[in-house]
Amino acid sequence: MQLQNDLLLRAAKGEKIERTPVWLMRQAGRILPEYRAVRESVSGFIELAQTPELASEVTIQPVDILGVDAAIIFSDILVIPEAMGLPYEMVEKRGPFFPNTVRSESDLKKLRVADGANDLSYVIKAIEITKKNLAGRVPLIGFAGAPWTIFAYMVEGSGSKTFSKAREMLYTQPKFSHQLLQMITDSTINYLKAQVKAGADLVQIFDSWAGILGPKQYAEFSYPYISQICDAISEVPKTVFAKGAFFAREEMGKLNCETIGLDWNMGIAESRKLIGTNKTLQGNLDPAALYGNPDQVRQATIDMMDQFKGTRHIANLGHGVYPDINPAMVKVFIETVKNY
């Protein structure tokens, strides 16, 4: 099916575009009352993510309500550990929790490499339904967590400010760490390939906890695995978003992907210099800027757009939109980008 709006894909590939495309990380979520209404109809986040029809409904909401240039499938990065044999729970106000963790060879033996299509059939089904219901209006983004970020949760057992148990593992058990990271990587490649086959037009890799590693650890335990994934997915454009990995921007420029996401701490001119001109940059307005009034939001958006002007760019925030931000201000951001 021919896409009516393919701005995102053209921008990712560095082709000619009439205007900068715009979408938001976490756009399908808590900022929208329409999302909350769907969420309240089920027992919680995980049931919503595992019900393809509902996951599809909340994926499309921001396209209808906010007017973004892309939909991103409603799911979670932690579906991969679950598919590998390590289930998790979503604890209200506290986030993800793993009743079991992976700390030893015997834990590793209980895991398997996920095949993607069957182990995560509910996500694949949600993509198929969404593609049909979008009817070519905008591209659909698929995604997965980067292996290091997934590893951090599987070893730690929950979110953490330091992920000290996961980081300890890199120092004390490097061989074990590489084994687990490779299993996660193989599972993620299978999963993203299944997403593409189901209709994802672009995929994004989220390395949410990149920034808690030092440059040396990142170069050994994260970057090579992201690189493997980028090399394995050849059918669609790829975006890599490594939050906090300001020290790895030059290396990011060498990845086999089209787009590099910037968080709001990464200077735009400096990033362009480090990453080079042959990649599209995505981002990077501070989500907190959207707490302002319409004039403030407009000005902050224009300031950002001015810095990206004349270069390959996809407009976005420097991280996910915060749940208590007024959707009206999100609309101001989107409209300002579109009218720029």
**Active-site residue numbers?**
26, 30, 39, 76, 153
Bridge partner list, 71: 140
Residue among 131, 124, 132, 138 at smallest CA distance from 23: 138
- Cα-Cα-Cα-Cα dihedral sign, residues 41, 42, 47, 52: negative
Nearest 5 degrees, angle CA 27-CA 204-CA 207? 95
Share in percent of the chain as helix, strand, coil (round to 5): 50, 10, 40
- CB-based burial label for 321 (10 Å; 0-12, 13-18, 19+): buried
How many CA atoms are closer than 13 Å to the CA of 326, on its beta-carbon side?
10
Distance, in Å, from the CA atom of 232 to the CA atom of 205, rounded to the nearest integer, reads 13
Encoded tokens for 251 = 């290396």
Give, as one character, the DSSP assignment of residue 289: G
Q: Given the DSSP bridges, would you call strands 95-97 and 89-91 parallel, antiparallel or unpaired?
A: antiparallel
CB atoms within 10 A of CB 202: 23
